[in-house]
Amino acid sequence: MIKLYVNTFKGFEEIDEEKLKEYKGKYVIWFDLFNPTEEEIEFLRKQTGFSMPPKEILGDIEISSKYIEDKDYLEVTLSFVIPQKEEILVEPVVFYIKEKFFVTVRYRDIPSIMIFKNRTNFQRKFFQFPESLFAEILGIEVDRIGDRLELLGNKIKDIWRQMFVEQSEEMIRELAFYDELNITLRESINEKIRIITKALKSPLINAHTKKELRIIYEDLTTLLEYTSFYMEKIDSIQNSLLGLITIRQNEAVKVFTVLATIFLPATLIASIFGMNFKHMPELHWKYGYPYSLFLMVFVTLVLLFWVRRKGWL
């Protein structure tokens, strides 16, 4: 599906192919492609000259190929992190900037792009240059990364408080998920820092947009420090949690070991008196049975008293 928007002083107005000629060269025109067909890709190529890379390689593009600059266009591939309940999605989006054209190619709903469109229409924003749209979407995504990191920090604090009350496998799985989320966000931040560093040197980007990109760059460097802190915090909690679980398991093993030791003499006595040899004098003794029971109980109580006095139980 392909949608065409023209950016006027009223925000974005969706247009058809016939009106495209009317606004072409006058206003910024946004080509938003969602899971495009070959016909739509060909239409885009004829209008803007953009040749889209195959979908299969979008997620595997090396960082050096995520920013392509030519004489009259920029092509940028950005990764957008979409955390879900049990998995973390990293969705690539291709941005193409040329003259008054702004192109986005995506295969999933990207919250930052939807927020950008709704916010622009609500505030009736007007963009003179297509690179300003890119900077605006990037800024929204950086704000969302900051919100995710803030939420991540609160979750880590909750687990830290809870682990002293109880330790469970579920808690370890949650920590592993948050660790993966933190690492994914860190990789996304590093990617954006590298791309912004290159964009700041580009003659195709106007001075006002570069100023916005510098602010975004500073925000990203701050967020990068948070990911380093959370990485160390998660690692510390994981070690502490595993240590507490080990202590709890050792205590359980110690209790069973002590109990087995206490009842071992009684088992030995029962085994001795249970041997049916012909010349065992106790077999014909009138008080042999109560004597053996008394001996087992007495030895067990003595060992139990000794173990409790040592503080082992």
* Per-residue model confidence as pLDDT tens digits over 124-172: 888 888 889 999 999 999 999 999 999 888 888 888 887 777 767 777 7
Higher pLDDT, 292 or 215: 215
Letter for the amino acid at 238? Q
Report pLDDT for 242.
Answer: 72
The tokens for 38 are: 């070959």
What is the DSSP code (8-state) at residue 68?
Answer: E
Is 90 in a helix, a strand, or coil?
strand
Q: Cα separation of 120 and 11, whole Å?
A: 5
Pairing of strands 101-106, 28-34: parallel
pLDDT in tens, 170-180: 777 888 888 88
| Token pair 């016909």 in the structure block, residue | 39
Higher pLDDT, 229 or 275: 229
Distances (CA, A) of 66 to 6, 48, 56, 109, 119: 26, 19, 15, 20, 27
Q: Cα separation of 112 and 125, whole Å?
A: 16
pLDDT in tens, 292-308: 777 777 777 777 777 67
Letter for the amino acid at 180? E
- What pTM, to 2 d.p., does this model score? 0.74
Strand order in the sheet with 88-98: 11-15, 2-8, 28-34, 101-106, 88-98, 73-83, 67-69
